Chain A
Amino acid sequence: MSEAVFRETTAQPRTRSVQLSHLSLELGHLYMEDFEAGPERLRAHFAEVRLWVEAVRASAARRTGGKRPRISTCFLIDDYFTRFSTPAELLPLVLEEAEKAGLAIDYLARESGCAVADRIEIAESVAHRLVESPPPGSNGSRPPVGQTGWLANGRRTPTTERAALGEVRGWQPPEETAARNHSVFMDVELWSEQDGRRLWSCPFLAAVWQLARLGLLRHLGEPVLVPRPWDGAEFPHDWDRLPPLLQLDPRAAAFSAYRTCTLLPNRFLAVEDAVRLILDQTQVDAEALRQVAARSKGEGLEVPDAVAQRATYIFYEDPATGPVSGGR
């Protein structure tokens, strides 16, 4: 068929594609308490991570059939839940300890950038893209029985109520929709309200972070959380002045990738399971999805179908000495 003669740009908006590596490798996802514990904690962390990085690189090379895989590394710092020190003080320490361990950090991100970056409410947009997994019996006639601010992997325990004849029903168990024989039911808090302000939960921001690394975030067709180059100058003295995503090495492979691998101490296992639950119920931009699928197929490295399957993890024993903090 011949091309149309007449075109209106507002009627056929375009979705811009992003450059893609083979793998986005996260070398750490540290919280303020990790930094408070001093440089030894960082040193132990990178020494442990280093071992696994070798394994991940070997695994990526096997996938690319011996061809040198394009791998970019990133590091995430929490400035959302707690604020500690300043970028000027903290970041040189992180980069130094990583370098000592023989690791290069290509991209540095702030966790609050997953909530709002460049005045775009990314977390809010992703929240509007949640499509809850329907329990059996959902026929479209009733919206899913959502609990605002929570997302589950099945049917919750019904609230105790009196049946028609006044008898009180006993406790009923919750039910995982995709259960195999028995349920592993999970209910994830996506946000809470504090002083009229929405506080996004850690798993929710981590899910946004995964989508950014998978090259699947767009705002009105434009990529968001785009890396900014760093000119090598001193880091700012205020977290808000640090770009949400900073490219430290100008020659680094692209930030976003077909797959992600995240290295974390094993106390984060539950959080990342929650991240997968969120990813599994998020409808990402269809055109971005298509672009990634087409490009990966073109390279003979097809991505898994479901978005959550594109993220892998290595959980290692927390090398931290002293009291282990469980929350984040």
Chain B
Amino acid sequence: MTRRPGQPARPALVCGEVRTCLLASFQALDGRAAAGLLRLRADEHVRISERPNLYALSPETLTGVDCRLPTADGSKVRAVGTVAARAALTEGRLLQATAWFSAPAAGPDTRRPWGHYLVRPGVVEPFGRLPEQATAQGVLRGPGRGELDLGAVAEALLARLLRHPLLDRKVPFKSRRTHLRWVARRVPEGERAELTRFTLAEDGLRTVELRLPEDTPAAAAAGLCEDLALHDWLLTTVVHMLESGRFAAADGPVAVQALRPAVDHLLHLWMPHARVERSLVHLWEALEREPGFTRQWQNLVQRIRDQLAVQAIRLPHQALSTN
């Protein structure tokens, strides 16, 4: 490819994976502690925001890769570059790690000096032409043996953070990690961003397909997907909590115990697109129409409150009768 060095090639594809989990800490972290946890490098700021909720974002780290890209049609494309990763902590409670890369439509046929790749953080250049469709599908399906593994990069960052001495490794309740894989195809600048598919798969896997204008930064796409992953995790976790609470409904105190963590730790976390880049906020609308993320959430919140109200009515009676 004859491109002047220094001019970033327009990425044809941006791919990423977000892993979302409950922070292994009995107490939620305050802003200071969150900054301490996410300080991946001493010389760079952790971004801290307090409105509309407490949110901390780590500096980006890079992982060098030189391997085949995951492709759905089995085509073998070697690519070299860096995968960017960062971590975010929301309300000192929900920890997310995201790994992502952008790929230009074509790259040189030989590996260049490593310094070339380091001044393009988060860009992975294919050898020759990038099979866009096959790579996008390959990333969503997950990597085969030896293929670029975004999930592993995100998981390594999570593991590193969860070993932090600030954490007591005690969770206030049980929950499952979710993985959200996403791909964004590029559309010409000026066209409207679109969320074309959100798939709820098994084993906590979700996939998102986007179409984004060329001038949307990859980090903004990552931010949107982190926001989607966080809210999907909340829905998944609270649904699960209510299900396990249902069996306990007959037993008042047990039901209260099952639902209480939702009130203590989760209900205030629902805040769609609080920090999503403005040009991408409307992508939420698609999910609000169908299936209706916020509608489901409100319904769940109402059920939890009703359950607790019912138990509250029952409890004084029991308390009276036992005395």
Contact B119 A6 (CB under 8 A): no
Report B42-67 CB contacts with A as 1/0, cut-off 8 Å.
11110111110001000010111111
- Across the interface, B115 reaches (CB within 8 A) one of A125, A139, A142, A279, namely A279
Contact B5 A305 (CB under 8 A): yes
Residues of A with C-beta under 8 A to B113: 178, 280, 306, 308
Within 8 A of A (CB), among B31-86: 41-45, 47-51, 55, 60, 62-68, 78, 80, 82-83
Instruction: Name the interface size band of chain B.
Output: 35 or more
Residues of B with C-beta under 8 A to A136: 66-67, 78, 111
* 6 sampled A-B residue pairs with Cβ under 8 A: A10-B47, A139-B146, A140-B99, A178-B111, A304-B5, A307-B118
A280 to B80: give the CA distance in the assembly, Å: 15
Residues of A with C-beta under 8 A to B6: 293, 302, 305
Residues of A with C-beta under 8 A to B143: 139
Q: Which residue of B lies closest to A219 (CB)?
A: B43
A11 to B50: give the CA distance in the assembly, Å: 9
Residues of B with C-beta under 8 A to A166: none
Contact B43 A306 (CB under 8 A): no
A85 to B82: give the CA distance in the assembly, Å: 47
Within 8 A of B (CB), among A218-232: 218-221
- Across the interface, B83 reaches (CB within 8 A) one of A140, A177, A309, namely A140
Query: How many whole Å from A75's CB to the nearest CB in chain B?
Result: 26
Contact B41 A125 (CB under 8 A): yes
Report A120-151 CB contacts with B as 1/0, cut-off 8 Å.
11001100110111111111111110000000
A40 to B272: give the CA distance in the assembly, Å: 73
Known A125-B42, A143-B156; judge A308-B115 contact (CB<8 A).
yes
A299 interfacial by beta-carbon distance below 8 Å: no
Q: Which residue of A lies closest to B79 (CB)?
A: A139
- 16 further interface pairs, Cβ-Cβ under 8 Å (given A139-B149, A304-B5): A8-B49, A8-B51, A10-B45, A12-B47, A13-B47, A129-B41, A134-B66, A136-B67, A137-B67, A141-B149, A220-B43, A280-B113, A282-B118, A283-B118, A305-B5, A307-B119
What residues make up the interface of A, taking CB atoms closer than 8 Å to B? Answer: 1, 4, 6, 8, 10-13, 120-121, 124-125, 128-129, 131-144, 177-178, 218-221, 279-286, 289, 293, 302, 304-309
What residues make up the interface of B, taking CB atoms closer than 8 Å to A? Answer: 5-6, 41-45, 47-51, 55, 60, 62-68, 78, 80, 82-83, 99, 111, 113-116, 118-119, 121, 143, 146-150, 152-153, 156, 278-279
A4 to B42: give the CA distance in the assembly, Å: 29
Known A10-B48, A140-B153; judge A134-B118 contact (CB<8 A).
no
Q: Which residue of B lies closest to A8 (CB)?
A: B49
Residues of A with C-beta under 8 A to B153: 140
Query: How many whole Å from B316's CB to the nearest CB in chain A?
Result: 45
